[in-house]
Structure 1
């Protein structure tokens, strides 16, 4: 039996991954499949919704943005409750909100109702996204943490792809409402899956020093992982004082943490700005560059398909090299590919290759940030730190399409826009490489990165 003062986090980091840990990560991936479907469900159904209610382009634009606004709110204000309620309970609350929002969306009678429900649904999805990524990071060992969180982003791409197939089948025969209804049913079905297969985060339980049930729940999880149970609670991960503890938001902005928090926010804003510019505008900008509408859609589709492979590839690379450097390489490669993209328009074959590669690397940039950010924060504020970082990123996602549209109205061409986004990614690279907490060092935080040595168990 273990003694109360054992460094449990180090034991888990250095040990092999059990089947139970991989099953937890699989549930987190399923949660991100849901995210991919929900983010794009409005894009899939926008033509049918517009035809039914005779909506203008600006009204459709508001509906497309409403879900992102809700996700930003959920990441900023609901996800931080994972540090108080626990990761599992916060995910269940998010699933409930998303299921109800999707079901009511299928019954909405006008654009105002649908817009409000898109915000409501987005709040739940935002909480799920942030908290599931934290949970995956906390259940993975050091070697496979990058892959575990990157697979979540792969789930997003899979959800977006499957959602498009499902929407195409349903829209042709039944209209747009069944698409939302199917999303609601899939979301509701995940609730019992989480109840049965997703335990509470051990890192969260280790912060619950005064909870009589925390040790019992911790030992139940350890036995499921094939690990020896504890006789008593480990020493606190975060030091406690007699003073009144500051709020968790105040702690991520405290002098010792502010540097990395602001850099993380800058990285997320830049990457989300680039990602949503690429996914939202590429088909139309290709058409403006002289391609046919079909060719433009083909180029956009390749971006999503490339994302399925890019996130997984980053995870495998992070198992061999330091994640911070892998992510920086992804950011710089994406920036270079964006510079080359528009000049390649006259060469359709080359353009398709570049489009697929951009999809690989831009999706990997998002996956890398999701994997890197939990290493920046202590377990007691990790949900807050990750939630706020993703929330700031969602602001970049909202600003990106609007900024691109405004610059097009001012006479900017596709080449200038792609060059602008490339510059944003270079700034994101500087932010990532300047992070201090993500660098391996003696005494670093409980999820600190470290390149595995030869012979490290996997």
Structure 2
């Protein structure tokens, strides 16, 4: 019997759910690490006397690092394995947080934020692939959604802890706490995190069969499994170039379009909503409250997507979420004058758009074969990160040119519909059953 098919069609055991929980915890710490600077921005700006532009560069440094980690660090997982990549990425994240806590000037803080972002970018790809590979077909969407929801939980908890730590010990304590927690996560992963089954079967590194059977025993497989005969492949193309080979070119361009459009829209809403609502007449407290509702809705939306996609087509549910997101984004800005309506639509916006991100994480690994899966996933997420970086800047340029905020949100609605079209055509070329 084919082991991949056996896992896909079998039940999810406790060991597999433990891997999902470990991935969710890593994503939770990522949410804390990535937003640590946002939590401490005011104190850092006051200590170093930063201008708005200088602070903006610092806030962007982590996002640039995340994009670079997804694009250039993640492909190494297809060569050295998913487990080593995750361990390297977690170590980079911990070192970056520790360095951020010990800096004496804002220039070095920017450097350490890039290092932290590199680690987070690698973690995101490695955990996405590992969660997908250890999940059964029935529960894969829910497993990835649980993992994805960790980021929002980490952001909310991080905000709460940041307030307490800063008040008592100063802003550096926030980064130090993140470094300690990430370091503890590294130790736990070093002991318990397994290697990818698909990597062991495909690449067959040293002691692969023994390692495979130890993992399978923990999953409840009593029989001994032998590795298939290894076929020597002559790959003249680099893994990145293979993404544009005849087999993957169409799917790659379509999933990149979907990632860019959804991440662009999500980060526009996340970055500009509080400021634009304040301009619309809300108080600072009210606009921040609506922003919090978007984060709260995000965690619920990721889980909702997973539950729905466990019963129906993952691609179909994702398309439904993109269309609903486009409609709700427009309804949200048109209701901005009424606080309770804005908060209600804010929750829906956060829920639906985070559900879209969970859906992308679910579909993305299924497009590529195991030998280039991390490369494919990493570059898709990296393209999405480029959209995330560009969104606040493009929105600012359009506002300076006289665009009304309502027109910006309507524009975002059309960008989301672009992702719907990309997902519709993605089905025609993919032969993978999870679509």
- The answer to whether the superposition gives a TM-score over 0.5 is yes
CA distance in structure 2 between the aligned counterparts of 1:92 and 1:39, rounded to whole angstroms: 18
Shift of 1:357: 0.6
Contact 1:7 1:234 in 2 (8 A): no
TM-fit CA distance, 1:346? 2.3
User: CA shift at 1:230, angstroms?
Assistant: 3.5
* CA separation of 1:244 and 1:311: change in aligned 2, threshold 3 A: closer
CA distance in 2, matches of 1:345, 1:208: 54
Deviation at 1:290, TM superposition (A): 1.5
1:192 counterpart = 2:187 = yes
Contact 2:203 2:371 in 1 (8 A): no
CA contact under 8 A between 2:321 and 2:355: conserved in structure 1? yes
* Inter-partner Cα distance in structure 2 for 1:379 and 1:434: 23
Question: 2-side partners of 1:363 and 1:348: how far apart?
Answer: 22
Give 1:240 shift: 4.8
Hey, what does 2:106 align to over in structure 1?
A: 111
The offset of 1:196, in angstroms, is 2.0
Deviation for aligned residue 1:380: 0.6
> In the alignment, which residue of structure 1 is the partner of 2:364?
373
- 1:283 positional shift: 0.5
2: CA distance between counterparts of 1:88 and 1:163?
A: 26
Distance (Å, rounded) in 2 between the aligned partners of 1:240 and 1:365: 39
Q: Quick check: 1:449 aligned with 2:434?
A: yes
Deviation at 1:343, TM superposition (A): 1.5
Deviations 1:36-83 (A, max 9, x none): 112211111110000001101111111110000000000001111111
1:35 lines up with 2:9 in the alignment: no
Q: Which moved more, 1:170-179 or 1:374-383?
A: 170-179
Deviations 1:249-304 (A, max 9, x none): 11111122010001111111111101111111111111111211111001100000
| Deviation of the 1:227 alpha carbon | 1.2
Counterpart residue number, 2:354: 363
Unaligned runs of 5+ in 2: none
2:123 alignment partner in structure 1: 128
Q: Which whole-Å deviations, capped at 9, do the CAs of 1:300-339 have from their partners, x for residues lacking one? A: 0000000110000100111100000101111110100111
| Corresponding position: 1:286 with 2:277 | yes
CA distance in 2, matches of 1:432, 1:199: 32
Deviation readout 1:215-245 (Å, 9 max, x if unpaired): 1111111110011344420356xx754x444
**Distance in 2 between residues matched to 1:142 and 1:119, nearest whole Å:** 36
What is aligned with 1:140?
135
Aligned residues: 435
- Once residues 192 and 21 of structure 2 are traced to their aligned partners in structure 1, the CA distance between those partners, rounded to angstroms, is 10
1:224 aligns with 2:215: no
CA distance in 2, matches of 1:343, 1:203: 48
- Separation of aligned partners in 2, 1:84 and 1:436: 29
In 2, Cα distance between equivalents of 1:272 and 1:426: 13
The match for 2:3 is: 8
Give the TM-score normalised by the residue count of structure 2. 0.97
2:373 match: 382
Residue 75 (structure 2) aligns with: 80
* Residues 337 and 231 of structure 1, relative CA distance in 2, 3 Å threshold: closer
Listed as ranges, the matches of 1:229-308 within 5 Å are 229-234=223-228, 240-241=232-233, 243-308=234-299
What TM-score results when the alignment is normalised by the length of structure 1?
A: 0.93
- Write out per-residue CA displacement over residues 74-109 of structure 1, whole angstroms, 9 at most, x where no aligned residue: 000111111111111100000111111110100111
Aligned residue number for residue 101 of structure 1: 96
CA RMSD of aligned residues (A): 1.4
Partner residue of 1:168 out of 163, 170, 173: 163
2:52 aligned residue: 57
* Residues 93 and 115 in structure 2, CA contact (< 8 A), matched pair in contact too: yes
Q: Cα 1:438–1:46, aligned 2, differ >3 Å: closer, same or farther?
A: farther
Distance (Å, rounded) in 1 between the aligned partners of 2:71 and 2:46 = 34
Q: Is the 8 A contact 1:338 1:358 kept in 2?
A: yes
- Gap regions ≥5 residues in structure 1: 1-5, 451-458
Question: In structure 2, do the counterparts of structure 1 residues 411 and 141 end up closer, same or farther at CA, with 3 Å as the change threshold?
Answer: same
Q: Secondary structure at the match of 1:255?
A: coil
Deviation of the 1:120 alpha carbon:
1.1
Contact 1:283 1:297 in 2 (8 A): yes
Contact 1:207/1:380, CA 8 A, preserved across alignment = yes
1:102 to 1:437, Cα distance in 2 relative to 1, 3 A: farther
Task: Give every structure 1 segment of 4 or more consecutive aligned residues whose post-TM-superposition deviation is greater than 4 Å.
Answer: none
Whether 1:354 and 2:345 are equivalent positions in the alignment is yes
Given the superposition, is the C-alpha separation of residues 287 and 231 from structure 1 closer, same or farther in structure 2, using an over 3 Å criterion?
Answer: closer
Residues 103, 184 of structure 1: 8 Å contact kept = yes
